[in-house]
Structure 1
């Protein structure tokens, strides 16, 4: 068996650590309809993994008469209010985070949510986790551009190519792969096509660091 411990783990947040995608979709649907537009869950699923500025521009085109920054603030407020009521953890995520932390493995959060929401989720985890946090309001280019993952790796002093990235969306995986990371897609609300350039897992439940090391070793040896 080929194994190679990654230098770090780079984590997406929405849909990967916390199952907040339904909160985002509900907020988008409600906001568009409040302005008399039509927007359904299937429409909202197309935004999973995209940057918030992209989402805001699209919602404006559907009739939301607010500027883009105001749309992002409104959506974020609504999602954070739902998180305050209940944090929807994804199976296996906190367990893997805890194991990696105990092993001393560097980790960065790479999310297209804005910093105030990332801080809310990180605080809810309940133990110190991330050595760096990259958010949608700290990058010039959102996923699927590689900049978020390149910045995440740089922020903790590692090469993205020596790291494992965990995602739940195709745009996020494209970002991670373009940055050179060993990319894992954990299936959630958006379909992800099979590909030779990343690995799909149905869940993180039961997954341990040894699984990441084995996959990373295989990818690096290929």
Structure 2
């Protein structure tokens, strides 16, 4: 019997598709220090997967005397500078899996809390047409862990979120995907996913195929 394919595969970006979290952490540290504060790796890890405007409120409490929009713009521009300088750091296996999904004709969306300009930088560096839709942090009213970003992606693609698979690296992102109703695959990067909501956790995307994605989805859909 032919396996049922997902109606769409929805991808997180930072930490899942690309290893940009170190770039964000460097940008955050530089900004905090500019205003006389200190910022540790532990501090930075608390914001992995969070919406940028939520993060801006944290930086304001840490003494960054700037409007939230300016904080978001400065952090994003600093990350984009690092991408331009060092290149896009792809996560192992991510492009290969994404390509196999596309070659099977399955719709895809990028669901990221980064703003659209940065998401477009990343997507533009992929050597094939990778996504049908982008849902970005500057386009949603409620960021992850709220389900809105994933529901918006399914809505734009014209599919039922329950028929979609989401791939995420953070507890915040998985909470968003699970609460939206997607089959959710966790791939830990900076943070442990041991206590995070998900249907399965893979240690890496390296070596994973569309067949693996389909098998996870089937295991969820076939439950009594």
Counterpart in the other structure of 1:72: 72
Question: Is the contact between residue 2 and residue 217 of structure 1 (CA under 8 Å) also seen in structure 2?
Answer: no
Question: Is the contact between residue 2 and residue 214 of structure 1 (CA under 8 Å) also seen in structure 2?
Answer: no
Aligned-residue offset at 1:2: 10
Q: Which is bigger in relative contact order (C-alpha 8 A, separation at least 6)?
A: 1
Counterpart in the other structure of 1:170: 171
| TM-score after normalising by structure 1 | 0.97
Counterpart in the other structure of 1:147: 148
**Counterpart Cα distance in 2 of 1:137 and 1:123:** 19
What is the CA RMSD across the aligned residues, in angstroms?
1.4
Q: CA 1:181/1:2 → structure 2, altered by over 3 Å: closer, same or farther?
A: farther
**Counterpart Cα distance in 2 of 1:19 and 1:153:** 25
Counterpart in the other structure of 1:180: 181
Aligned-residue offset at 1:30: 1.3
Q: Flag structure 1 segments of 5+ consecutive residues without an equivalent.
A: none
Aligned-residue offset at 1:198: 2.5
Secondary structure at the aligned position of 2:27 is classed as: helix
Q: Flag structure 2 segments of 5+ consecutive residues without an equivalent.
A: none
| TM-score after normalising by structure 2 | 0.96
Question: Is the contact between residue 171 and residue 197 of structure 2 (CA under 8 Å) also seen in structure 1?
Answer: no
Counterpart in the other structure of 1:38: 38
Secondary structure at the aligned position of 1:73 is classed as: helix
Task: State the 4+ residue runs in structure 1 displaced beyond 3 angstroms.
Answer: 1-4, 194-197
Counterpart in the other structure of 1:201: 202
**Counterpart Cα distance in 1 of 2:54 and 2:197:** 28
Aligned-residue offset at 1:160: 0.8
Aligned-residue offset at 1:3: 4.7
1:25 aligns with 2:46: no
